Amino acid sequence: MKKTKKIGIITLGCDKNTVDNEYLAGLLDDLGYEVIPLEGFHPEENFDIVLLNTCGFILDAKKQSIDVISEIAESKKKRGNPEKFFVLGCLSQRYPHELWKKFPEIDGLVGVGQLETLVQYIQNEEIPRNEKFCCLKKPIVNVEKYIRRKIITPRAYSFLKIADGCSHTCSFCAIPRIKGTYRSVPMDIILQEAEYLISQGIKELNLIAQDITRYGRDLKKGYGLPELIKELSKLKGDFWIRCLYGLPSGLTKKLLNIIGTGEKTVHYLDMPIQHIDKKILKLMNRPGWSRDIIKEIRDIRTVIPDIVIRTTVILGFPGETYKAFQQLMNVIEQIRFERLGAFIFSPEEETPAIEFPHRVGKLVAERRYHLLMETQSDISYEFNKSRVGREYKVLVEDFDNEKKLWIGRSYAEAPEVDGIIWVSSSKSLRIGEFYPVKIKEAEIYDLYGEVV
């Protein structure tokens, strides 16, 4: 009897890589392989094959990917574990020749949007190494057919990738060069995938893309994000829909009304603004850089009064003066985003911003980062305190044996990036189910409550 091959699969980088690895796991599972998700590589555990999905977005992510490649390559060289090693994703797409030269232990190297090519490599053991190198010169991330996803991390939520690639030309970002132009997934495929995920017990669908508000435009079939949300909401089951990564310039009244009035859409938006200063935004080449963000936030909160807004900003971008930073601080204190993440500018190869003059020193950028996050922690604590005494529908996701408390999230907490709600209950709860929870206590990012 032929032995089932054991494949370890590692995900680095963004939520889109998580989705791609679940597609890959589904393809391999259907072919009879044993696919095991790994949080990291452990040399003491033997694998026939290890697959590493890499990130090549910013310097820290690239370094992490290289470190993991080095670790696996060293284990293969010294111990023969794994027997075969394949690298895929953004770093492969961006630096194929460098990786191929530096790590002869790699058996196959593929770029983005080439999962089925990788599966063919895995199946065909006779291809010479010099031919196992497939990174498209012009990357493309088309999804043209339904692929059953194998959920590799058991949990109550999932990411639904409605598009990939990017057609914006932000001066600091290499994503369009790595992944190619924006490509929407046809609605019928998304609905089939969502229906399957719900049937597997998923209670929260997080819509993701580089910019979800552009969804459907490239398909020219007469539908966009509002229509997609409407159709998703018709699917049977008790589940949430959450909108992540939508640029402010694409948030129309029609879309806001759909989110605000939909029974299954949570009142939450993730909309990266990156900065406030108009000169900086113009240098960044951000879509809608000249728009009045304060007015737009007020308009959003008028349409959806209980909306929770998450944003991200970049600090230390070339040309960011102290005055520009102060303007950003003042506006953040005025707008009071419920959620905010900040990043220090990372100069990326093959992007216009790497050539920009008036660089901000590392120490200055770090000081600005800490000042901003201190201000945001006060805003976050104030928001959480305002929720004490209120009752929320909470999705219970885990149990902490040390604290003897359940772990959950309400509509106001997106998975993996926001805080959590610690839930006490006199009765045992079911993981992956919704419960009414009254908030009793607030911290800066987390809350404490009890089941009503």
What is the CATH number for 337? 3.80.30.20
Cα–Cα distances in angstroms (integers) from residue 20 to residues 63, 95, 307, in the given order: 21, 19, 30
Q: What is the pLDDT of residue 133?
A: 63
Residue with tokens 């520009």: 324
Task: Report the amino acid identity of residue 417.
Answer: V
What is the CATH number for 436? 2.40.50.140
pTM of the model: 0.93
Q: Are 413 and 341 in a shared domain?
A: no
Residue 54: which of 42, 43, 62 has the closest Cα? 62
Measured distance CA(406)–CA(427) in Å, rounded: 11
Instruction: Let me know: does 115 contact 91? Beta carbons within 8 Å.
Output: no
Reading across the β-sheet that carries 308-315, which strands appear in turn?
A: 157-161, 204-208, 240-243, 265-270, 308-315, 339-344
The domain total for the chain is 3
The gap between the terminal CA atoms of the chain, to the nearest Å, is 55
Q: What is the pLDDT of residue 1?
A: 45
pLDDT by residue (tens digit) across 180-218?
Answer: 999 999 999 999 999 999 999 999 999 999 999 999 999
Query: Residues 111, 11, 107, 70: is their CA dihedral positive or negative?
Result: positive
Q: What is the pLDDT of residue 171?
A: 96
Instruction: Identify whether 405 is part of a domain.
Output: yes
Instruction: Identify whether 233 is part of a domain.
Output: yes
Nearest-5° Cα angle at 64, 62 to 69: 95
Instruction: Identify whether 143 is part of a domain.
Output: no
Q: What is the pLDDT of residue 49?
A: 93
Q: Are 75 and 129 in a shared domain?
A: yes
Q: Are 333 and 398 in a shared domain?
A: no
Instruction: Let me know: does 245 contact 272? Beta carbons within 8 Å.
Output: yes
Domain carrying residue 291: 157-385
Q: Are 306 and 191 in a shared domain?
A: yes
The last residue of a domain, from among 71, 102, 134:
134
Q: What is the pLDDT of residue 127?
A: 57
Q: What is the pLDDT of residue 209?
A: 96
Q: Are 341 and 440 in a shared domain?
A: no
Q: Are 330 and 419 in a shared domain?
A: no
Q: Are 83 and 204 in a shared domain?
A: no
Q: What is the pLDDT of residue 216?
A: 96
Q: Based on the number of CB atoms within 10 Å of its own CB, is 218 exposed (0-12), middle (13-18) or buried (19 or more)?
A: middle
Instruction: Identify whether 147 is part of a domain.
Output: no
Q: Are 64 and 109 in a shared domain?
A: yes
Question: Which positions ≥6 away from 70 have C-beta within 8 Å?
Answer: 103
Instruction: Identify whether 367 is part of a domain.
Output: yes
Question: For the chain, which ranges sit under pLDDT 50?
Answer: 1
Q: Are 41 and 126 in a shared domain?
A: yes
Q: What is the pLDDT of residue 74?
A: 93
Q: Are 193 and 318 in a shared domain?
A: yes
Instruction: Identify whether 146 is part of a domain.
Output: no
Q: Are 95 and 200 in a shared domain?
A: no
The last residue of a domain, from among 335, 365, 385:
385
